[in-house]
Amino acid sequence: MQVVSALLGGTIAALGGSSAINMFQSFRLSEQNGQHQPASVKASRRRSLQACAMVVPVLEQYMEDGKICAPSDKSVKDIVSDLQQLRRSELMELWLACEAPPQNMKSMDGDWNGVLLDNNGMLMTKVSEFLTDALFGRKFGKWNGKAFRAGENGGGINRFYSRRSNDDDNTVQYEHRFDCRVAASQLDRKGDALVLKYANHQNRLSPWHSMRDEIRVLPMAGRSGGVLLGLGCMKWSGAYVRDGMLNSAPFCLYR
């Protein structure tokens, strides 16, 4: 019993410490952007990302004339693979430098595949996977992205692989609706994001009631659309500061 208690206590302490690291990292990056006047914010973001790109070769490929843009010779699959190589701090830098989605939701209408990205090391990444796949996707299975419905007042729903034995391995099920609109970001205090909220579709006692996603577009050279880079959280997981966004977990959507 003492061994179990020690292991449980150690796990809780490790999770608390990792969450604190996430929040400090997010706060530092957010404040660095917030120190500049609106006219110089974009330039500041580019400088920050350029400095990061000097030590991260993958990021260097996404700088074009001082702006963020996926290279024209990279497929969507290549871009997603690159994102999966980045650490949370690098993904946060990239997110802060990306564009907010257009006001017109019709350009995003339809289904998007999704993958979870690094959340500051194995422990927090596994926690994110457990929360998303085992708990959030408890009814069906592994999280598989989102579907945006332009005709439903700017709303959408999450996608999951089906666990039902009579379904094909690639069968997609839908659960957990959300409202979405372009609004002020809780992470980037001088910018907007596509904000997804779940409160209107969840019971007040649901752990997902306070869930919030903030999404931005990663442009692709010479092509319309792009890969969507997102950050997701629950308010309670971030000590209720900035709606929990300081302890948000990165993900991407693509099609």
pLDDT in tens, 186-243: 999 889 999 999 999 999 999 999 999 999 999 887 776 679 999 999 998 877 889 9
Q: Report d(CA 201, CA 203) in Å as an integer.
A: 7
The answer to whether the beta carbons of residues 45 and 59 sit under 8 Å apart is: no
Burial 82-99 (b: 16+ CB within 10 A, else e): bbeebbbbbbbbbbbbbb
For the chain, the residue count is 255
Residues 6+ apart with CB under 8 A from 130: none
State the pLDDT at residue 9.
37
In this prediction the pTM is: 0.85
User: Token match 């208690």: residue?
Assistant: 5
Q: Is 29 exposed, middle or buried (0-12, 13-18, 19+ CB in 10 A)?
A: buried
Choose between 12 and 1: higher pLDDT: 12
User: 208: helix, coil or strand?
Assistant: coil
- Indicate if the pLDDT at residue 54 is higher than 60: no
Q: pLDDT (tens digit, 9 = 90+) per residue, 110-137?
A: 999 999 999 988 989 999 999 999 899 9
Nearest CA among 2, 22, 4 for reference residue 239: 22
Q: pLDDT (tens digit, 9 = 90+) per residue, 79-122?
A: 999 999 999 999 998 898 887 777 677 888 899 999 999 998 89
Indicate the number of domains in the chain.
1
Give the domain extent around 114.
Answer: 2-254
Taking the CA atoms of residue 244, residue 247, residue 249 and residue 253 in that order, the dihedral angle to the nearest 10 degrees is 40
